[in-house]
Amino acid sequence: MKKATIKDVARVAQVSVASVSRALNRQGGVTAETVERIRAAARQLRYIPDNAARSLITRRTHTVGALLPDLYGEFFSELIRGIDLAARARGLQLLVSSSHDGLEDASAAMRAMLGRVDGMLILSPWVDQAFLEANLPGDLPTVLMNSPVEGGEHDVINIDNRGGAHAMTEHLLRKAGHPTVTFIAGPAGNYDSVQRELGYRQAMAEFAPKAAVDVVAGSFTEESGYHAGRELLARKQRPRAVFAANDMMAVGCLYAFKEAGLQVPQDIALAGFDDIPIARYLTPSLSTVSVHIAELGRNALERLAVQLDGHERSHTTDTLGCAVVIRHTCGAS
């Protein structure tokens, strides 16, 4: 019992393969009657068109690739979720590839996707213009997310990392009234992290010019946040307010603070970045910078779909705004 092909359907329905193709793709030019006969035959044979053969000739795979650095944590799950939702709505399949830790890996992952996808969504903090030129066919529709690559060949959707971090730092300093703020950074060289740190530094210069900028290292994981938190508490003078470059680190940090018996925000204030779903359910609930992660994914896919439909590349750069979300950890109502 082999898989039925279009020929089998044609034979059973007593028509030519061309008619079967036309009927099943509802292109018209076939009598309603014949269509029905063909439908019946297809059903009877459990006929499923072979996508490989189809896309060989149509040059369309109806599949988009998503290249991500990792899949760990709620940020990425929300992002994929947004992408997947939008893709489904558009009738597109989603090929994901994550878990690569550098340009080597990213390049291999990208190559493996080429020819399988009609376009690509790329979120990779290491990817730059040169890399893209070397690894992408010039005509493959692409949307970059949170990318340093700007004003060039590609469609880019960024988050206002700098602005969001600036606003949160300002809030901590001016509204919540903390004299200074300590920043827990993400992985070195990570674009998001760099931009957020920049926003922090600008706000510090602006609103706490006397205070020293204070940055400790992290890597965007809960664990690194926990360690950073412990490190901060071990100082002879513990900070009064801490701003973590993402929510996962804030989660780890919060744990460290409460483990040490500290009251948050009375003894020490805390804020994060991303507004992952769980942020509002922490106790105290986490003040953070809201990013609408799923929205970002949805947006990127829509943008890609436009390129796909229009058969032309585009190259706009959009920046999605961020909003400071005040909950309880930051010490201002």
Binding site for its own copies (CB under 8 A): 1, 3, 46, 48-53, 55-56, 61, 63, 70-74, 76-77, 80-81, 84-85, 88, 91, 93-100, 109, 111-116, 137-138, 222, 226, 251-252, 254-255, 258-259, 277-278, 280-283, 285
Asked if residues 178 and 241 have their Cβ atoms less than 8 Å apart, the reply is: yes
Q: H-helix or E-strand containing 241?
A: strand 241-244
Is 306 a binding residue for DNA by CB under 7 A? The answer is no
Given 40, 43, 44, 50, the residue binding DNA (CB under 7 A): 50
Given 40, 53, 89, 130, the residue binding DNA (CB under 7 A): 53
- Give whichever of 155 and 222 is closer to its own copies, judged by the CB atom: 222
Which of its own copies, DNA, none has residue 42 at its interface (CB below 5 to 8 Å by kind)? Answer: none
**Interface with DNA in residues 29-48 (CB under 7 A):** 29-31, 33-34, 47
**Interface with DNA in residues 63-82 (CB under 7 A):** none
Which of its own copies, DNA, none has residue 109 at its interface (CB below 5 to 8 Å by kind)? Answer: its own copies
For the CB of residue 165, give the shortest distance to its own copies in the complex, in Å.
23
Asked if residues 164 and 322 have their Cβ atoms less than 8 Å apart, the reply is: yes
Is 27 a binding residue for DNA by CB under 7 A? The answer is yes
* Closest C-alpha to 85, from 97, 94, 75, 76: 94
Residue 309: other Cβ atoms inside 10 A: 10
- Give whichever of 48 and 89 is closer to DNA, judged by the CB atom: 48
Q: How buried is 303 (Cβ within 10 angstroms: 0-12 exposed, 13-18 middle, 19+ buried)? A: buried
Is 28 a binding residue for DNA by CB under 7 A? The answer is yes
- Give whichever of 28 and 209 is closer to DNA, judged by the CB atom: 28
9-17's contacts with Cβ under 8 Å and 24+ in sequence apart are: 9/38, 9/41, 9/42, 9/45, 9/47, 12/41, 12/44, 12/45, 13/37, 13/38, 13/40, 13/41, 13/42
For the CB of residue 88, give the shortest distance to its own copies in the complex, in Å.
6
Q: H-helix or E-strand containing 283?
A: none
- Give whichever of 5 and 285 is closer to DNA, judged by the CB atom: 5
- Give whichever of 10 and 113 is closer to its own copies, judged by the CB atom: 113
Structure tokens at 12: 């059973």
Length of the chain: 333
For 120-139, b/e burial (b = at least 16 CB within 10 A) is bbbbbbbbebebbeebbeee
Q: What's 173's DSSP letter?
A: I
For the CB of residue 12, give the shortest distance to DNA in the complex, in Å.
12
**Interface with DNA in residues 108-127 (CB under 7 A):** none
| Contact footprint for DNA (CB under 7 A) | 3, 5-7, 14-22, 24-25, 27-31, 33-34, 47, 49-50, 53-54, 56-58
